[in-house]
Structure 1
Amino acid sequence: MATSTRSPRRSWDAPVPPIFRPLLRAYLIGYASAVGPRFLSLLIQYTLRRQKKERETNGNGKKRKDSFLVALQRVLLRPMETQSFPTFCAALVGGYTFLELPLKSIIDRNGSNISELARKRLSRFLASFISAWMSLQLLQSKQTPDFTGTTPHPHPSKPPVTTHFAGRTLDLTLLAATRALDVIVGELWARRRTRREAAGHWTRWDARIGRLADPALFAFSSGLVMWTWFYEPARLPPAYQRWISTAAAVDNRLITALQRCRDGTLRYGRDTGQAPLLGSMCDDYLWPRHWGDPAVSIPFPCEIVHMGVGPSCEHHALSRFTRSFTWAMTTYLPLSLLLALRSRGPRSLLTSPPALRRVLLSAARSSAFLGAFITFFYYGVCLARTRIGPHIVGTSTPCRQRLDGGICVGTGCFLCGWSILLEHAGRRKDIALFVAPRALATLVPRKYGKEKEWRETAVFATSVAVVLTVFAENRRRVRGVMGGVLNGVF
């Protein structure tokens, strides 16, 4: 009896010559990442507008043309410009692909005394370095209003002087630098483990350090981000700042009061004119107004931090977790369902209780992580200013000033990130590597002089060269989403 053999599935880009496939895949991935979020945001806005039956009119009272198609056209066509992210992705990958073989030939002719492996690594490094340098300059050449300033000319009769600033590609550079550091540290740790296992010196403490590396990275990074959000929010990207503010759900007057405690504007035991700040908050929550007077209340009661939940710090923490968990589930549950439907299909998901249970548990676990993150931050503030801090620092007026002037917020920043231990171990690395570049961004200026841009370009090119060179030899070394993207491209 003859047996039928199923032919292998034909790739969608099979008609494309192999050397052009990575370039095409990189362009499409870049295009999807540029269009996808904007298209989804546009669709949500349009749906909400239709539900509310809003009719926009111009000054003459005539009905305006539906702006949805115009906005959709802009979302779809703008990423096709020359100085766009998809073009950058294609230039980086295409340059690396096309330059590697010619550079390898040149190095082979002039470096016969170098080993074959070293010549391969050098050609890959140089090819990726050159392509990364040129592709980033493509993005940097685009001028935007946010990075353009004007100053009056010394002579009033002449037009203002236009100054262009660098920093548009800083987030991309920090992402590449973080990934390069992760690759280097991971490779060094893997070699250390191999040596110690061969010598029989690998211990449980070594294994624990390896498992705690990603949680520690996330805890440090998220703590730095939260500290910046609290005291220097302008150093964070606006969208990131708004998202944290939404998740935190805190009265801005409370944040302002703690900020003024830190800079000395609000001082306990002195009338510096700051009583109306928290006094208005006391009026809104029906508390005694003197609670918000720093000259009288030293310190102001922790119930103000709880914002109407009650005097108990533990009850406030439980309330925070419940509210944050519920809020997070509205995001994580639909996302988990969509991912499951994409991979399994609706029929398989509905007819398989274990699969549906895994989806629910995954969403609940991620929601618990985010809920605990917010809870730990707030409870850390309470621990420092009420529960433990006064027993360590002291209860005098200067000690209370120190506690509310940074120690309480610092404690919350230190504790909140360890909630990552509630998340699945496989996701910790992705979350940690997502937050780490944003933490680095708080340490460098968002804008800087154009004459210093070459430094950023050099960091980016070197980082990309490290990642691609290591990836060519050991694909598993590039972890998480970035590793998946590179596997899809190459």
Structure 2
Amino acid sequence: MFALTPSPNGPSQHQNPNPIRALLDSLTTTISDPEHPAQIAARTFALGLSLSLGPSILSFILVTCTRPSSVKARLRSLVYILKRELGITGFAFAITIAVGGGAALERIWQTLACPHPRAEMVTLLHPNERHGGRLDPKVSVYSQSKLAPYQKAFLANVVTSSLSVIILQRGRRRSHSTGRTPVLLSRRSPTFDLTLLFLVRSLDAFFQAYLFRRSTRESRFLSERTPSAVSPQHLAILGPDAGLSLSLADVDLKKEAARHEREAKEWHRRIATRVDAFAFWACSARIMWCFFYQPHRLPPTYVKWIMSLARVDRRLLDALRALRLGQWSYIHGSATQSNLLISLSEDLGLPATWGDPEVLPAFGGPGADVIWKALDVRNRRGIGGVPCELVHAGVGAQWGLGGSCIMNAAARAAYAFIEAIALYLPVHFIPMLLTRPRSILRLHRALPALLAAIRSATFLSAFLSSYWFSICLTRTLVLARLIPWVSHDAWDGPHGGVLAASLICGGSIWIENARRRGEMALYVLPRALRASLPDRWSKSGPRGIQIAEQTVFVLSLASLLTFARHRPESLRGLSRWTLAFVMKGPNAGFWKKRTMEVTTCPPTPATPLPTASQSPQYER
């Protein structure tokens, strides 16, 4: 606990301070501070506007270029977009209320608790100076507060986040009700995806804080045992050799503490990277399975991106979904969906019978070989199902290898690598251009970024090629040959090749480095959660579900903002970079490599969340 230092002008200056005057001084005279609420609000609004208005303008430009319309209609659409995003119900204004409003409310609270802006907390109250469990009367009102700074920040952020979610939901529902969006979108909660994003990031921050606490507990205990704080009076009593002995013990304990600190950091890194890899593996398995069978559970833009990267024909996906629903079968045929693969076969220049479920063999063995001989299929001896040429969708056909599973996987890996390198080069080099533009001309700076982009592209290429090759291993190369009496309704069904490939492809995440593994896991986790929750949870339906979503939104966003101010090391990746820029501006680590130590009140210094042993209720 802290006590106030007497003012050099006498104690009368600190008596009966005017809290209103102190509040006004705090909110106006320090506006040049990058961490002032006004500057935080300005940066938040600019960032929020770029995230919401930018994609809307880009979509408007694409629609204008592809769909002819009158100038009046284009102008009306543009005015609608600007009015929606720049208005008080837009995303930028709502998120500014949450972030900037929370910072302002926290500063007001701290100013009222410590009204004199020059009050310095410099005197540490020793535990022996407590009288009967009560603090010494010298302690300031601020230090006697039952709420820690991070608790005040959390409560302030809860209030402003509640206002933010109300503004967002009302604004989006109003825009949907204008008839400019499809009816299906108007039924979906307008903040559901944002809620999942905040939930995942906040849970990760709590998990990282827990790992930091576990990894530093023992090293902190050893550092507190160092005998360097022994007073000279005790040294005189112990004798002339005591100083040397204590110094040697001090050195040994410091070395032991440093060793434990290194081991703790290594333990933290090892646990975090394994959890990240497991989370990505589980999430990618769910996402890829839903891409094939339940694409409505995923964001439409995400489905389009996977479709373009995977180079899969839509008719093949429709056949797999019809097979799952029993509308297309090798055993029973198909009365309504039989033309799906027939048309695909014809478009690939293959016989139409190769896609007819009435003709294709459902089981392997000698009976299948008779049918393949009649259909002139030469690479499926002993197995049934659709020929590989249709599954590969013509990949490698120009080299006469359309039926080769290895060629299909290799060609798709090459295509994916080319597209991925075009995607990841900007991801790795744009931050360098924004923060250190001259470093891109230096080989020792540019080469690691290039290698990191190649590594990320290799990961995405391996992810995609392993998926296709796992399907081929299941239905053609290994399992279907070992167990020919199992129908291809099972091998090509939802629990066959697609499931096996969904479980295998996520292992490619180990190609990425540890930092990227964490960011990839945080990227796919909200989408996997969305794909796993019941459909009614994402719709604007029962009032109880709406209240539950609003509560999760408020608590998650308030936790993130509190961590960003009082425990920023618990944040990772995009959330850490974004919130550091919003909260600190030029003082953020990637803009200026220095640490600011704030000792006055207000503003409140960034205080770490206390551990159990540091909290008052655990003191003995």
> Same-fold call, TM > 0.5?
yes
Give the corresponding residue for 1:157. none
Pair 1:441 & 2:530 matched: yes
Pair 1:484 & 2:546 matched: no
Letter in 2 for 1:329: I
Question: Matches of residues 321-400 of structure 1 in structure 2 within 5 Å?
Answer: 321-334=413-426, 336-345=428-437, 349-350=440-441, 352-390=442-480, 394-398=483-487, 400=488
Letter in 2 for 1:189: L
Q: Secondary structure at the match of 2:322?
A: helix
Letter in 1 for 2:490: R
1:18 to 1:469, Cα distance in 2 relative to 1, 3 A? closer
Letter in 1 for 2:353: H
Question: 2:43–2:582: 8 Å Cα contact kept in structure 1?
Answer: yes
* Cα separation, 1, equivalents of 2:427 and 2:215: 37
* Cα separation, 2, equivalents of 1:327 and 1:170: 30
User: Which of 264, 270, 274 is the aligned partner of 2:332?
Assistant: 270
Question: 1:318–1:375: 8 Å Cα contact kept in structure 2?
Answer: yes
* Cα separation, 2, equivalents of 1:289 and 1:302: 14
1:141 to 1:57, Cα distance in 2 relative to 1, 3 A? closer
Question: Matches of residues 104-143 of structure 1 in structure 2 within 5 Å?
Answer: 118-143=147-172
Q: Aligned-pair distance for 1:337?
A: 4.7
Pair 1:410 & 2:472 matched: no
Pair 1:248 & 2:310 matched: yes
Give the corresponding residue for 2:200. 178
Q: Secondary structure at the match of 1:215?
A: helix
Pair 1:18 & 2:47 matched: no
Letter in 2 for 1:281: L
User: Which of 423, 427, 433 is the aligned partner of 2:512?
Assistant: 423
Pair 1:86 & 2:115 matched: no
Question: 1:282–1:288: 8 Å Cα contact kept in structure 2?
Answer: yes
Deviations 1:254-284 (A, max 9, x none): 1112112222222222233344221222222
Pair 1:287 & 2:350 matched: yes
Output the TM-score relative to the length of structure 1. 0.79
Give the corresponding residue for 1:5. none
Deviations 1:88-124 (A, max 9, x none): 111101332233356669999xxx9998675434322
Deviations 1:156-190 (A, max 9, x none): xxxxxxxx856110011111111121122222233
Q: Aligned-pair distance for 1:391?
A: 5.9
Deviations 1:241-263 (A, max 9, x none): 21121112111111112112222
1:83 to 1:450, Cα distance in 2 relative to 1, 3 A? farther
Letter in 1 for 2:157: S
User: Which of 273, 278, 288 is the aligned partner of 1:226?
Assistant: 288
1:261 to 1:175, Cα distance in 2 relative to 1, 3 A? same
RMSD: 3.6
Give the corresponding residue for 2:410. 318
Question: 2:84–2:175: 8 Å Cα contact kept in structure 1?
Answer: no
Q: Aligned-pair distance for 1:286?
A: 2.7
Question: 1:166–1:450: 8 Å Cα contact kept in structure 2?
Answer: no
Letter in 2 for 1:402: A
Letter in 2 for 1:37: P
* Cα separation, 1, equivalents of 2:63 and 2:436: 29
Letter in 2 for 1:227: W
Deviations 1:284-333 (A, max 9, x none): 22333332233432311233211123222111100100111112233333
Question: 1:35–1:76: 8 Å Cα contact kept in structure 2?
Answer: yes
Give the corresponding residue for 2:249. none
Q: Aligned-pair distance for 1:458?
A: 0.6
Output the TM-score relative to the length of structure 2. 0.64
1:41 to 1:426, Cα distance in 2 relative to 1, 3 A? farther
Q: Aligned-pair distance for 1:71?
A: 6.5
Letter in 1 for 2:41: L
Q: Aligned-pair distance for 1:211?
A: 1.8
Question: 1:147–1:166: 8 Å Cα contact kept in structure 2?
Answer: no
Q: Which moved more, 1:361-370 or 1:240-249?
A: 361-370
1:117 to 1:292, Cα distance in 2 relative to 1, 3 A? farther
State the percentage of identical aligned residues. Answer: 32
Deviations 1:188-233 (A, max 9, x none): 2333334577898979888644322222222222222222221111
Question: 2:433–2:440: 8 Å Cα contact kept in structure 1?
Answer: yes
1:286 to 1:397, Cα distance in 2 relative to 1, 3 A? farther
Give the corresponding residue for 1:37. 55
* Cα separation, 1, equivalents of 2:69 and 2:404: 52
Q: Which runs of 5+ in 1 are unaligned?
A: 1-12, 59-63, 151-163
1:104 to 1:458, Cα distance in 2 relative to 1, 3 A? farther
Q: Secondary structure at the match of 1:405?
A: coil
* Cα separation, 2, equivalents of 1:484 and 1:35: 21
1:172 to 1:65, Cα distance in 2 relative to 1, 3 A? closer
Q: Which moved more, 1:271-280 or 1:179-188?
A: 271-280
Pair 1:473 & 2:566 matched: yes
* Cα separation, 1, equivalents of 2:581 and 2:285: 33
Q: Secondary structure at the match of 2:292?
A: helix
* Cα separation, 2, equivalents of 1:333 and 1:316: 26
1:259 to 1:300, Cα distance in 2 relative to 1, 3 A? same
Q: Which entry has the higher C-alpha Rg, 1 or 2?
A: 2
Q: Secondary structure at the match of 2:327?
A: coil
Q: Going by fraction, where is helix more abundant, 1 or 2?
A: 1
1:331 to 1:74, Cα distance in 2 relative to 1, 3 A? farther
* Cα separation, 1, equivalents of 2:95 and 2:412: 42
The count of aligned residue pairs is: 447
Q: Aligned-pair distance for 1:32?
A: 1.9
Q: Aligned-pair distance for 1:457?
A: 0.6
Q: Which moved more, 1:70-79 or 1:247-256?
A: 70-79
